[in-house]
Amino acid sequence: MSEPQPQSALDLIDADSLLSDEERDIRDTVRAFVLSEIKPNIANWFETGDFPARDLAKRFGEMGLLGMHLEGYGCAGTSATAYGLAALELEAADSGIRSLVSVQGSLAMFAIWKFGSEEQKNEWLPKMADGDAIGCFGLTEADFGSNPQGMLTNAKRSGDDWILNGSKMWITNGSIADVAVVWAQTEDGIRGFVVPTNSPGFSATAIKSKLSLRASVTSELVFSDVRLPASAVLPNVTGLKGPMSCLNEARFGILFGVIGAARDCLEVATDYARSRIQFDRPIAAFQLTQEKLTNMALELQKSYLLAIHFGRLKDAKKLRPEQISVGKLNNVREAIEIARTARTILGANGVTLEYSVMRHANNLESVLTYEGTSEIHLLTIGRALTGISAFR
Ligand code: TGC
Ligand code: FAD
């Protein structure tokens, strides 16, 4: 009897049949771009910590990937599921590349699109959608990460203007951004400000020596008496629900995106196991290796089904924050487990940049922490289950 053909990582249960033709087309276009333009370079970008962010942003803009699920102002207006699939393909290359796109579209652009004035939208969204302007999103501070409610950055009125003081930490795209969406305490509660990064008193410094997300810019922002016009404030939201609503968008992209990193790990590990010979046999012939590959594939399929289900709920405008926490917690947790298991299958080769698995595993450490740590999402689900908040 001939050997059965090996199954590809995401086709085992034919989950792709749940996608529309348009979604598959978008997915295939992004996948082709990633294969030809990103995969050949990404190990070097990660190693040097230097990558062509502006060129990539421009290319992503041309492909309609920036703010792609938003309507109007030059945005593509695709389904949320299509956006998720694009995030998945980008993260199959590297979580840092997906971060560039998700911070731009889901955090900076979404904040302006959802809560901004017409003037702010017309000024920033078309050039951000084109990749001509890069945005960042400043919520976290050095002493207020999981608990952004306590932030110290503040904006005080000075006549019609605002004066912004404080700092933000761990800000993706921070030192390459043209515009920063900055959340600050005001006498009315937390408000968002659209801050051009060439404003006097604004400075951004890249954080070096990261062992994770090296192909991504992460920065500290400092605001020293930054004078902003009255028109800089996002007029349509006050309170923590403003930034939290943006996080819902980005967390949705992540719950899809990490499946890409995990898929790449499974594909690399499967190929490696089929060709690596020990004890005169391919290591894929050992039951212990097959158990690892099977468990990785099962968790990958389940994560993918969950993501598609949540994509459909989001498109129907029915996706709730605690459901996003279910997806972010589960899919990141499983992706990092898959990446670490893939690393074991590659043995010593797995610790090098020649293969993607440890790069993905290291990146996923950041993904586990940003956009709400796994503990924060666990407690969000716990609160939904019990009706009792255990945050404080
Ligand atoms: P809590 O009392 O629960 O809520 C305060 C107000 O916020 C509203 N709210 C939400 N609204 C929409 N969506 C959500 N998911 C929301 N969660 C809360 C809530 O309804 C309330 O509104 P109102 O009108 O009643 O005042 O607030 P809390 O202080 O107890 O905190 C809750 C907690 C811990 C869940 C929240 O603070 C949290 O999620 N912390 C994690 C912080 C976080 O995720 N930071 C991410 C920073 S950005 C980032 O990491 C980008 S990485 C980008 C990349 O490179 O990809
Ligand atoms: P802490 O909040 O200090 O948490 C430390 C530990 O304590 C965690 O395990 C946490 O789960 C746990 N903990 C905290 N509170 C509780 C509790 N109530 N119960 C149980 N456990 C708890 N932020 C932005 O605003 N914009 C960005 O663009 C951005 N990009 C980032 C990029 C990278 C590469 C990284 C690593 C981070 C980025 N962040 C960004 C910051 C990120 O959102 C925060 O790191 C994250 O929210 C956690 O905050 P913290 O690091 O201060 O950890």
Q: Are residues 158 and 224 located together in one domain of the fold?
A: yes
Q: Are residues 279 and 340 located together in one domain of the fold?
A: yes
Give 80-130 pLDDT, tens digit per residue. 999 999 999 999 999 999 999 999 999 999 999 999 999 999 999 999 999
**6 — pLDDT class (breaks 50, 70, 90):** low
Q: Are residues 254 and 382 located together in one domain of the fold?
A: yes
Q: Are residues 111 and 148 located together in one domain of the fold?
A: no
Residue 71 belongs to domain spanning: 9-130
Q: Are residues 203 and 252 located together in one domain of the fold?
A: no
Q: For a substitution probing ligand 1, which of 109, 191, 244 has the most ligand atoms within 8 Å of its CB?
A: 244
Q: Are residues 303 and 353 located together in one domain of the fold?
A: yes
Burial of 280 (0-12, 13-18, 19+ CB in 10 A): exposed
What are the tokens at 71? 């309507």
Q: For a substitution probing ligand 2, which of 136, 144, 152, 170 has the most ligand atoms within 8 Å of its CB?
A: 170
Q: What is the pLDDT of residue 11?
A: 76
Q: Are residues 95 and 204 located together in one domain of the fold?
A: no
Angle at alpha carbon of residue 369, lines to 365 and 371, rounded to 5° = 130
Q: Are residues 95 and 161 located together in one domain of the fold?
A: no
Query: What is the distance between the alpha carbons of residues 316 and 335, in angstroms, rounded to a whole number?
Result: 27
The catalytically annotated residue of 23, 89, 249, 371 is 371
Is 2 a member of any domain?
no
Our answer on whether the CB atom of 221 is closer than 6 Å to any ligand 2 atom is no
Q: Among 12-16, 21-25, 110-114, which stretch is predicted with the lowest mean pLDDT? A: 12-16
Q: Which residues contact 33 (CB under 8 A, 6 or more apart)?
A: 59, 63
- Tell which atom from ligand 1 comes closest to the C-alpha of 379: 35
371 is catalytic: yes
Is 392 a member of any domain?
no
Give 231-283 pLDDT, tens digit per residue. 999 999 999 999 999 999 999 999 999 999 999 999 999 999 999 999 999 99
Q: Are residues 206 and 292 located together in one domain of the fold?
A: no
Is 106 a member of any domain?
yes
Burial of 267 (0-12, 13-18, 19+ CB in 10 A): middle
Domain end (from 113, 130, 147): 130
Give 179-192 pLDDT, tens digit per residue. 999 999 999 999 99
Residue 3, pLDDT above cutoff 70: no
Here the CATH number for the domain that contains residue 223 is 2.40.110.10
Residue 1, pLDDT above cutoff 90: no
State the distance from the centre of ligand 1 to the C-alpha of 242, rounded, in angstroms: 9
Is 4 a member of any domain?
no
Domain end (from 232, 262, 295): 232
Query: What is the distance between the alpha carbons of residues 125 and 102, in angstroms, rounded to a whole number?
Result: 15
Domain end (from 175, 202, 232): 232
| HSE value, Cβ hemisphere, 13 Å, CA-based, for 279 | 4
Our answer on whether the CB atom of 371 is closer than 6 Å to any ligand 1 atom is yes
Is 391 a member of any domain?
no
Residue 164, pLDDT above cutoff 70: yes
Our answer on whether the CB atom of 313 is closer than 6 Å to any ligand 1 atom is no
Q: Are residues 97 and 173 located together in one domain of the fold?
A: no
Our answer on whether the CB atom of 157 is closer than 6 Å to any ligand 2 atom is no
Here the CATH number for the domain that contains residue 69 is 1.10.540.10
Our answer on whether the CB atom of 245 is closer than 6 Å to any ligand 1 atom is yes
- Tell which atom from ligand 2 comes closest to the C-alpha of 372: 47
Is 252 a member of any domain?
yes
Residue 5, pLDDT above cutoff 80: no
Is 19 a member of any domain?
yes
Counted domains in the chain: 3
Here the CATH number for the domain that contains residue 380 is 1.20.140.10
Q: What percent of the chain has pLDDT over 90?
A: 96
Q: Are residues 203 and 298 located together in one domain of the fold?
A: no
Is 1 a member of any domain?
no
Q: Are residues 376 and 247 located together in one domain of the fold?
A: yes
Q: Which residues contact 19 (CB under 8 A, 6 or more apart)?
A: 27, 81, 85, 308
Q: Is 51 helix (H, G, I), strand (E, B) or coil?
A: coil
